[in-house]
Structure 1
Amino acid sequence: MILGLMKKFGGMSAMARALGHKYPTTVQGWKDSGAIPHWRFASVIAAAKAHGVELSKEELAHLGQGQEAAAEIPESVAKFDAASAILRSENRYRALIEQALDMICVCAHGKVTFINAAGIKMLGATSSNQIIGHELIKLVHSDYQDIIAEGLENFIDEGTVVRLKFVRLDKQVIDVEIAVMSIGSFGEKSFMMEAHDITEQVRVAATLRKAHHELEQRVEERTRELTEEIAERRRAEEKLELSAKVIANLNEAVVIVDTDFRVISVNPAFSQITGYSINEVMGDRPHFHAAITEDPEFRAKLNDSLDRKGSWEGEFWCKHKNGNDHALRLSLSAISDDLGEAQKYVAVLSDITKRKQDEERIHFQANFDALTGLPNRSLFHDRLNQSLPTMERSNSKLGLMFIDLDGFKLVNDTLGHDRGDLLLIEASKRLTNCIRSGDTVARLGGDEFTVIMPNLTDSRNAPLLGQRILDALSEPFDLNGQEAFISGSIGITIFPDDAKDATSLIKNADAAMYRAKDQGKANFQFFTADLNEDVKERLFLKNNLSKALERDEFVLHYQPKLNIQSGAVTSCEALMRWVNDNMGGMVSPVRFIPIIEETGQVVEIGEWALWTACEQHKAWCAEGLPPIRIAVNLSARQLREPDFV
C-alpha cells in the first residue's frame, strides 16, 4: 500500500514535501515498516487532497481502519485539521528560519521573495528591502551565474550541497554552500535556499592546502637534500679513500704537522726522499724545519705568506739523513677551522736536487767560459751594464781593459790545441791573481780577455794594474813540460771620462788595444780621442772586406826572382793586393791583412790566392814559358784546416 501511495505522490521526497517535511526520513520509515501509523492517516489524506492526489477506495479504506470510511469524514473537519497543522507548522518553521544562523531565502521564478536576518547580514545589507524583489542571479559571482541560470530545481536532490560565490552589496566576494528544496506545487518554481558562509573555512582550507603543499615540498626537498647528502658523503668517502691511495703512492713526500710543527702523519715517499723512517719522525719536528726557520728573514716571509694566504711555497737546501746536501721544494698549506684558525699544516716535499744541479750547470754554461771558468761574454756585458748606473749614482769612475795575448796563435798552431788550452787556463789564473776584490776578469773568446775595474778613486790606478798584468803574462808558461812565452796588448778606457755607455766603452777599449799592438805589443795604451778615427777605419775596412772576394777585388802581383849570372827568372812570389774604389783604389796589405786574420777570412782568401797562382802558372806554361816555382804566403790558420792538404 505505501509503495502505491509514494508513486502517486511522485516519489518518496515529493510525498515527504507534500506532508510538510524537508527530509524524507519519516516516509522512509513507513516504507521500511510497510505501514503508516494510524495517527498519520488524516495527514496523508489531507496531503493527498491538497496536492490533487486521487486515492482509491482500498487506499481510503486502509487509511480509515477501525473508523468509518475516510470518504465519509466531514470535509470541513479535515480541512480545519489540515489548516491548523499547516499554520502551526508555518509558525514553527518561520521562528526557526528567522533565528537561523545561516542565510535562508525563498525564491520564486528567480526572484527573492523572502530572506532572513542572517541572510541580510551575510549579503552586507541593512534591511530585507535591499534584497527582496531582486534577481537571485545578480547576487551570484559572474563565474557561477551560468550554474544558477540553469534553474535551482537542479539542486533539490536530497543531500546535494553546491558551492558558490556571492557578491555582497559592498562588492566583497564570499564563499557559500547552498542547499535547495522545492516549497511550491509542481510547476510553481518556488524554492527555499539555505546558504552557509564558508569564506573563512575556504581561507583556512586554502591556507592548510598551501601549508600542506609547502610541507610536501619541504619534505620532498629535504628528502632530495638527504639523498644528495648521502650521495655526497659517499662521494666524499670515495674521494678520501682515493686521496689516501694517491697520497700513499705519490713520488712527493706528504707530511702533516700540528701547529707546533710536530709530525702527525707522513707517506712512504717521505722516507725515500729524506732517508728518515716514519718512526723516526712521528711526534718530532721534520728534518727540514731548521732549514726554513733558522734564517729570520726567510722565516718572516714564510709566516707572512701563511697569515695572508694560508699557504707558502719555496725552495731550499738541507741535509739528507746520510749527510749529503739535497734541494727540496716545499709547498706548505694550512688546514683551518670554521673560525679561520690553523689547526694543522700539510707539507708537500719534492726532491729537486737534480733540477738544481742542472740549473746551476746551465747557468754556468750560459754565463761562464767552459775552459777557464771565467765569466763569458754574456756575463761580462751583464756586469758592465749593471756597474755603470751604480758608478754614476756614486759619482765614481770605472776602468775597462781589453787584453789580447800576443803570441798565443803561434803557440796554439805550433804546440797544438791542448797546450794552447793549458796556456789560456794558466793565463786566466794569472789575470785573476792580479785584480782587486770586486773586479771582474772575463774571457770574450779566443785569446781576448777583459777586466772591469769599478770604484776607481783615481784613473791613474789603472796603469798599475795594467803593468801588473803585463808582468804576470811575461813569465814563462810550463805547458806539460813545454815552455812557452807570450805577452799582452792592453787597451784601457775610463768611465765616464771617455764614454758613458757600455757600447762606447767596449769600442774604446778595443781601439786602445789595437793601438797597443801597433806600438809593438807587450804594452798598454789609454783610449784617446784620435783613436776614434782608427776605430772607424777598422769598421770601414771590415765592412768592405766582407764582400771583396765576391766582387773580385783581390789581385795577385808576382815579384820575380832572377839568376844574377844568367838573368833568367827562376821563381816568383805572389803578393796580394786589394783594389777597392771606396778605399781610393789600391789598399796596402798592412791595413787589411790583420783584419782578415782577425775575422777568419784569411782561410777563404788564402785558398783563392793558391788557386789563382796555380792558374797563372798554368797559363804561363801554355804560352811556352818554362815552369818556375811560385811562392804563396799562407796563414798559420790555413795550415790547421783539415782539408788543406
Structure 2
Amino acid sequence: MEKRATTESTALPSDILPQVFFWNENFETGFEEIDHQHRGLVELVNRLPALSRGVPGAPALAEVLSELRAYAALHFSTEEALWESLPYEDPLIHYLQLHEKEHRDFTRKVAEMGQSTAPETVGEIVHFLTHWLARHILEADRRMAFVLKGVKKRLSLREAMAAAEGELDLTETFTRTVLSMYDQVVDQALRLMEEMARRKAAESSLRLFGQVFMSVRDGILLLDPDGLIVDANPAFCRRLLVRREDLVGRSIFSPSPSLLDPASLSQAFQKAKETGHFSGTILIPREEGEADTLWASLSPVLGETGETSHLTAIFSPVGELLKENEVLSATANQDPLTGIPNRRLFNDRFGRALREAVSGGQRGALILIDLDHFKALNDLWGHPAGDQILQAAARRLREAVRQSDTGARLGGDEFAAILSGLHPEREVATLEAQAAAEKIRLALSRPYEISVPCEGGGEDSFLHSCPPSLGVVLFGGESLDEEKKVFEAGDRALYQAKHAGGNAVMMAEEPELEGKHEA
C-alpha cells in the first residue's frame, strides 16, 4: 500500500479548513486499497478552499494540484490493474477504454484550471473536483467493485457487468442528491474562507494600528464627538506629563487643569467637525509661564451611518520640526568645510537677485573670486593646510560683504559674492561694485597663518599669501539680464585679473555689458 507523507506536510490545522467533501460509509467499495485512495483524494480536495482567499499557511494552488494529479494517476493505475485482472473479453475492452478516457480528461481539465491565478478559479476547481470525485466513487468505482464481486461469485463477465448496471440504476437518485448537496457545501465553504480572510486582514490592520499608535513620536488622542478622551498614546502622555488613566474619560476642554489652550482648542474642534479637518497651532500652558506650541491635525472618523463617531487629534512639536528643518536646510545649502553658502544656495540667491533687479529696474553685481597660489600650498603641505586657508578666506569674505549680500564658496578655491541694491545709474553702480570688490581683495590678500605637524611631534606655524583675483560684472538695469551671460562676463573679467598678475580687481568691459543688445 502506498504512502502519502507529502499530504500531511502542507496540511493546515482542522480549525482553519472547512470540509467540502464529507466521507460517508456509502462510499465504501469493499476494496481496502481503493477506499484508502478515495480518502486521500477527499483530503486533497478539502484543502483547496483555503487557497481561495490566501489564508495564511495555505499551500500554493499549483502545489496542491500537482499532488492531486500525481495521486489521481496512482489511483487510476490501481483501478486499471484491478480491471485487467478480469477475463479479457469484449465488454472489458470497452470499460478499459472508458477508464483511460476518464483519466486523460481528468488530467487535462485539472491542468487547464491550474493555469489561472484568480481567486475565483479555486472555487471552479473545487466545484469540478467534488462533482468528479462523487460521481467517480459512486458510479465508476462502484461499478468496478460490483463487477469484481460478481466475477468472484463465479458470474460470467457479462453477467457481472449487467448486475452492476442494475445496482447503479437503483442508486441514481442517491447520486444526484449527493452532488446537489456538495454544490451547497462548496459554496458555503468558500464564503466561510472569504470571511475568515477578511477577519484576519482586519485583525492584522488592528494590530498594525496598535503598534503605530503606541510607538509613533507624535501625540495622538482619540475623542468622542463631545470631546471626551477615549484613548491617548504614550507620546501624548509624555508631552503633557500625565498618565493615560488620568486622561481617559476626561473632557479635553476640562479647565482643571487645562491640557491645551481652551480658546484655540475649541476653535480647532468645531472646525474639524464642521469642515472635516483642522490643521494649525495649539498651545500647551506651562506652570512656569512660557507655553509650548504644537501643530495639531484634527479629523473626524465617520461611523456606518455617515455621522461623526470619533475624532482623531495628532499633535506634533513645532519647535522640534523647525529645528529638524533647519538642520536639513543647512546640510543642503551650506558648504560643509567653511559654513558659508554653497553653490546650490548661491545659484538660488543669484537667480532671485537677477530677477528682482531686472523687474525692479535696479542693479546688482556678481563678483567671482579665485585664490592665487593656492594649489602650490595644497600640493606642498596637503589638504589640511589648504583647508585652513579656505576656512579663513570664507570668514574674511563673510565679514567683508554687507549682511544683505551673499558670499559663497563655489568649490575648490573658487568663491563668489552677490551685491544687491546698487545705484540705478551705471557709473555709480560701477564705483560701488569696485569699492566692494576692493574691500574683499584687501581682506583676502592678508597673509594666512598655517599650522602643520612637525616630524618630531608638535606643530609648526608659518604665514602664506594667497592673494585673490576678482572679476566683477553688473547685472540688471540696461546691463546683462541672463544668468549665463552674466557668469560668462564675470569669468572673462576674472581671467583678465589673473592674466594681469593676480591680486587685482577687473570689471567686465563696457562692450560685454552691452552684449544683450547685439544682434
Shorter-chain TM range is 0.3 to 0.5
TM-score normalised over the length of structure 2: 0.46
* TM-score under structure 1 length normalisation: 0.38
Larger radius of gyration: 1
